[in-house]
């Protein structure tokens, strides 16, 4: 048997966590670490938030599961709340971001067939990330994560991110496309932010060609970018939105929301999930939405994001190994001029949990509940680690 009885899917650091609180994680030896990416944008309210803990424990004593062949109160409540905050008409509940996107992909294909498109395809972006199931892996614009899993799924066409001319050209020549799927801020791809004119232009192209505009807000949703959903800062309304991650603050739940004609597409029997929208997960998500609303956490994310970016930009202004510091709310990318994966183990020795994406981008996704002092501490600790790393790098 292997030293640790796991299939080898993650390159894990050798730390065993036992509990957490806010931005902090504590290992079995009692060491404290600053989690700068919240379990990859999952614990937007911080670890072990009391409102979520209370909602789960109360719900566990009332109802944990009932079949989706019936309604349940927590699920109904969450559906109304999510439609209220998103401007959508209906929701399908899943258990993860990949599953929410699978639902969106199936919805788009069905929509295409209902409009008489024989072999419908979906336009997706370079450097995107939509999940690890076969359809979402195919939609993902990263050859490295796809390699070895061929044959992939057919029916996807790819375009460069933030390039409206490319999408207009594809729209003119490819009549099989029925939908476009994209992240308003690409997370795994390196914190790449959509230009407002590009997103608005895509909305117009979708209207013109009858395509569904489907936004993957699995990572950007639930207050992280400064609005409940990122598209609300762009002044566009999509036809389909998916979300997950921060929705349950760590309790697995995903959602595929749709409006208008897209909301009319599925009929009974087309799609389903045994566990999707379970009572415990919905109770957690209801507590999350209430907390985001009551504490105005989307606005707080906007302010904290500005505070962190401004300080980092001032500290690293003119420094040659930092190429760019960018972000939207509390989704922040610090792009270095060279690959920097070695920063992660170094940061760990300093009590900081860091995440590097696209080889050279430090991605910060801290909780929306940070105090100003914690935000400043994050910047101070990160600055120290980056400077240590740069000094080490220069000596070797
Ligand atoms: N979509 C986006 C934008 C993501 O960032 C992720 C996960 O990182 C997913 C989808 C997949 O979500 P999950 O891991 O919950 O299946």
pLDDT digits (tens, 9 = 90+) for 62-95: 999 999 999 999 999 999 999 999 999 999 999 9
ipTM of predicted assembly, 2 dp: 0.99
Fold topology of 17-46+302-395: 3.90.1150
Range(s) within the chain of domains with CATH label 3.40.640.10: 50-294
Ligand 1, closest atom to CA 99? 16
**pLDDT tens-digit map of 361-377:** 999 999 999 999 999 99
Given ligand 1 and candidates 245, 358, 361, which is best to mutate, with the most ligand atoms within 8 Å of its CB? 245
| pLDDT of 395 higher than 70 | no
Query: What is the whole-number distance in angstroms between the Cα of residue 165 and the centre of ligand 1?
Result: 28
Q: Look up the CATH number of domain 50-294.
A: 3.40.640.10
CB 224 within 8 A of CB 191: no
pLDDT at 40: 97
- In terms of Cβ atoms closer than 10 Å to its own Cβ (0-12, 13-18, 19+), residue 344 is middle
Query: Mapping DSSP to helix (H, G, I), strand (E, B) and coil, where does residue 223 land?
Result: coil
Q: What is the mean pLDDT of the chain?
A: 97
CA distance readout (Å), 189 to 61, 230, 335, 359: 41, 17, 12, 10
Given ligand 1 and candidates 130, 139, 249, 361, which is best to mutate, with the most ligand atoms within 8 Å of its CB? 130
Residues 297, 378: Cα–Cα separation, whole Å: 18
Range(s) within the chain of domains with CATH label 3.90.1150.10: 17-46+302-395
Confidence band, pLDDT 50/70/90 cuts, at residue 106: very high
Cβ–Cβ contacts within 10 Å for residue 66, how many? 12
| CA 219 to centroid of chain Cα atoms | 1
Residues 211, 120: Cα–Cα separation, whole Å: 11
């Amino acid at each position: 048997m292997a030293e640790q009885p796991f299939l080898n899917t993650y390159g894990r650091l050798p730390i065993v966590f036992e509990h957490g609180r806010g931005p902090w994680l504590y290992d079995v030896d009692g060491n404290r670490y600053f989690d700068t990416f919240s379990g990859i944008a999952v614990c937007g309210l911080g670890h072990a938030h009391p409102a979520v803990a209370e909602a789960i424990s109360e719900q566990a004593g009332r109802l944990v599961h009932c079949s989706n062949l019936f309604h349940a109160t927590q699920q109904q409540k969450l559906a109304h709340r999510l439609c209220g905050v998103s401007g959508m008409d209906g929701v399908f509940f899943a258990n993860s971001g990949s599953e929410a996107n699978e639902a969106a992909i199936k919805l788009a294909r069905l929509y295409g067939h209902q409009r008489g498109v024989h072999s419908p395809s979906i336009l997706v972006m370079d450097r995107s990330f939509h999940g690890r199931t076969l359809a979402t892996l195919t939609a993902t614009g990263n050859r490295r994560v796809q390699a070895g899993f061929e044959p992939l799924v057919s029916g996807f066409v790819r375009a460069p991110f933030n390039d409206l001319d490319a999408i207009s050209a594809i729209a003119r020549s490819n009549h099989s496309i029925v939908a476009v799927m994209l992240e308003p801020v690409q997370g795994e791809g390196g914190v790449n932010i959509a230009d407002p004119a590009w997103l608005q232009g895509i909305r117009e192209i979708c209207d013109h060609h009858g395509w569904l505009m489907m936004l993957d807000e699995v990572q950007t949703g639930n207050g992280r970018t400064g609005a409940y959903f990122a598209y609300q800062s762009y002044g566009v309304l999509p036809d389909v939105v998916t979300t997950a991650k921060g929705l349950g603050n760590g309790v697995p739940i995903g959602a595929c929301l749709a409006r208008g004609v897209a909301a009319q597409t599925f009929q009974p029997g087309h799609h389903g999930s045994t566990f999707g929208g379970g009572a415990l997960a919905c109770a957690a998500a209801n507590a999350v939405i209430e907390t985001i609303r009551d504490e105005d956490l989307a606005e707080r994310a906007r302010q904290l994001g500005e505070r962190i970016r401004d300080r980092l930009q001032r500290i690293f202004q003119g420094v040659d190994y930092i190429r760019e510091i960018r972000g939207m709310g509390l989704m922040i990318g610090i792009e270095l001029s060279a690959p920097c994966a070695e920063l992660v183990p170094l940061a760990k020795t300093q009590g900081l949990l860091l995440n590097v994406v696209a080889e050279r981008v430090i991605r910060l996704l801290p909780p929306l509940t940070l105090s100003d002092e914690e935000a400043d501490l994050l910047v101070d600790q990160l600055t120290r680690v980056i400077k240590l790393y740069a000094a080490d790098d220069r000596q070797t």
